[in-house]
Amino acid sequence: MRHGGAYPEDVSSASPGAAGVDPSVPAGVVELVGLAAYTELAEFGLLAARSVDAPTLAARQALADGAARALTRQHALLALVTDGSADAAAVVVAPFDGAFVDFDMRTRTDVWAEGLLKGVVGHGVAQDFCRTLAVGVQGHVGTSLRTVLERPAPGREAEAAAGADAEAVRLLDEVAAADEVLASRLALWGRRVVGEALSLVTTFVDARPHLTALAGDSARTLGVDADPRAWLVSRLTAEHTRRMDRLRLAA
Amino acid sequence: MRHGGAYPEDVSSASPGAAGVDPSVPAGVVELVGLAAYTELAEFGLLAARSVDAPTLAARQALADGAARALTRQHALLALVTDGSADAAAVVVAPFDGAFVDFDMRTRTDVWAEGLLKGVVGHGVAQDFCRTLAVGVQGHVGTSLRTVLERPAPGREAEAAAGADAEAVRLLDEVAAADEVLASRLALWGRRVVGEALSLVTTFVDARPHLTALAGDSARTLGVDADPRAWLVSRLTAEHTRRMDRLRLAA
């Protein structure tokens, strides 16, 4: 059931009746899918760039495979609300074109491992954000969206539609285990990246009424009685702490 | 039938009895698959890098999709001679690690369209080389290898296992059609890149007896009575001319 119509039922404001976009999907959901799909394209770029300058052939291959999986997931997301055509995909993703430029500028680094961690943390926060907003999406699209965005089960990270980060996480773990100084540096870097990522997320929520409404829906679905914005940040921060623990880096 | 045992039947010299590599496949064929697989990884990197700095979202998406397809083809190639494990793949590809560094240094460019053309031409020559050598490979592996390396039929370039270049070719065509000066510059650049690529190919053939033998097998299979090295270069040059014609750039 819906929760008091917290997000409007109109078709996507970015694409009123755009060819190839499912007109039965609410605009807020199209927007969320667009953000999630853009996030995967950005993740492709981050992993691919770290593949190109990877120090070993094994890392190069592993990160290329991860980047390809990010695109597989992107196409799975877009198929939820479009007919799968490139034109329809472009309409859904276009509103987020350039959305990460500021984040990217503020977290520039020439250190390979820092670039890798930036991808894992930035993409991790963006995915947790999308997953959290998907909680409140009703009906068939909501179920499918949550399935596609699901965190892969342990040991199944390398499957086609699974997360793209598995190899990056493994490589970072190796790097941190081998070099204590670099590990401390990465822990510090992780705090900087997550700060920028959380600030970007709140900017998104503030600037996009559909996403604000979805955050409210999610909070209500989970029985949370708090300001959705504050709740969202604390939830994403907690997920980030778990992520850094998995990397054995202090959050 | 085989042609006078022009390549030895021993298992790969790079990996005598390596776990996960099919011991029934001749060493020369494992080497050819390794080169073809490394070529696809390099193509992934070239397309992905041009995706990251693409001028439009559409180009960024298209080149990312092409890069992902290069990896799909890479995995299809590796599956022909390995059990599909990452370790076995690493053994097959490792002998070619760094093989394109010189080529890459000699064809550096900051012009986006030149970088794109470098990928199309460099990868095109490398693929034509692998296709030509595959002509002489006997038996079941030969048939499968030729199928995977096959040039996609017109209009079917965008399919999962098809060539990765389709989008790059389309984007270059758009760029060249819109800017006559850039088109002339690209035609010149194409000649430089193909020169470097052909010089690399002859170095490969000279330095790797298995590949020399395969070139001879291919020439004999096609009834060519000429020095395999000279024949190979003239064949690759002809393919390059056709490729530049398709791009409407003068070779």
CA distance B247 to B243: 6
Higher pLDDT, A8 or A25: A25
**Quick one: CA dihedral B26, B96, B120, B71, positive or negative?**
positive
Q: Which two tokens stand for residue B203?
A: 């170095």
pLDDT of residue B7: 38
Q: Does any CB of chain A come closer than 8 Å to the CB of residue B72?
A: yes
pLDDT of residue B214: 94
Contacts of A4 by beta carbon, 8 Å cutoff, 6+ apart: none
pLDDT of residue A17: 63
**Mean of the pLDDT values across residues B222-238?**
91
pLDDT of residue B181: 93
CA distance B244 to A227: 60
Q: What is the pLDDT of residues A216-225, one digit of tens each?
A: 999 999 999 8
The mean predicted confidence, pLDDT, of chain A is 87
Contact A118, A109 (CB under 8 A): yes
β-sheet bridge partners, residue B21: B82
Q: What is the pLDDT of residues A118-168, one digit of tens each?
A: 999 999 999 999 999 999 999 999 999 999 988 665 555 544 444 567 888
Where do the structural domains in chain B lie, given as residue ranges? Answer: 27-246
Contacts 24+ apart (CB under 8 A), B95-98: B95/B14, B95/B31, B95/B34, B96/B34, B96/B35, B96/B38, B97/A57, B97/B38
Nearest-neighbour CA in chain A from B73: distance (Å): 12
Q: Taking 50 as the threshold, does the pLDDT of residue A15 lie above it? A: no
- B64 and A71 within 8 Å at the Cβ level: the answer is yes
pLDDT of residue B65: 93
Q: Does any CB of chain B come closer than 8 Å to the CB of residue A142?
A: no
pLDDT of residue B92: 96
pLDDT of residue B226: 86
Q: Does any CB of chain A come closer than 8 Å to the CB of residue B95?
A: no
Q: Does any CB of chain A come closer than 8 Å to the CB of residue B79?
A: no
DSSP letter (8 states) at residue A11: P
Q: Which chain B residues are Cβ-neighbours of A60 within 8 angstroms?
A: 41, 45
- A90 and B57 within 8 Å at the Cβ level: the answer is yes
- A86 and B51 within 8 Å at the Cβ level: the answer is no
Q: Does any CB of chain A come closer than 8 Å to the CB of residue B205?
A: no
Q: Does any CB of chain A come closer than 8 Å to the CB of residue B251?
A: no
CATH of B27-246, one of 1.20.58.760, 3.40.630.30, 1.20.1260.10, 3.40.50.2300: 1.20.1260.10
Contact B119, B112 (CB under 8 A): no
- A64 and B49 within 8 Å at the Cβ level: the answer is no
Q: Taking 60 as the threshold, does the pLDDT of residue A9 lie above it? A: no
Contacts of B41 by beta carbon, 8 Å cutoff, 6+ apart: A60, A61, A64, B70, B71, B74, B93
Q: Which chain B residues are Cβ-neighbours of A71 within 8 angstroms?
A: 64-65, 68
Nearest-neighbour CA in chain A from B50: distance (Å): 10
Nearest-neighbour CA in chain B from A231: distance (Å): 33
DSSP-derived 3-state class of residue B82: strand
Q: Taking 70 as the threshold, does the pLDDT of residue A10 lie above it? A: no
Read off φ and ψ for residue B82, nearest 5 degrees.
Answer: -130, 175
**Kind and range of the H or E run holding A187:** helix A180-207
* B93 → closest Cβ in A57, A90, A97: A57
Q: Taking 60 as the threshold, does the pLDDT of residue A31 lie above it? A: yes
Q: Does any CB of chain A come closer than 8 Å to the CB of residue B45?
A: yes
pLDDT of residue A246: 83
Q: Which two tokens stand for residue B119?
A: 């990928």
Residue that is written with structure tokens 């690759």 in the block: B236
Q: How far is CA B222 from the centre of its chain?
A: 20
Q: Could you list the beta-strand ranges (E) of chain B.
A: none
CATH of A27-150+161-246, one of 1.10.3720.10, 1.20.1260.10, 1.10.287.130, 2.40.340.10: 1.20.1260.10
The mean predicted confidence, pLDDT, of chain B is 87
Contact B122, B55 (CB under 8 A): no
- B51 and A49 within 8 Å at the Cβ level: the answer is no
DSSP letter (8 states) at residue A99: T
Higher pLDDT, B144 or A167: B144
Contact A145, A134 (CB under 8 A): yes
- A57 and B90 within 8 Å at the Cβ level: the answer is yes
Percent of chain B with pLDDT over 70: 87
**Mean of the pLDDT values across residues B44-62?**
93
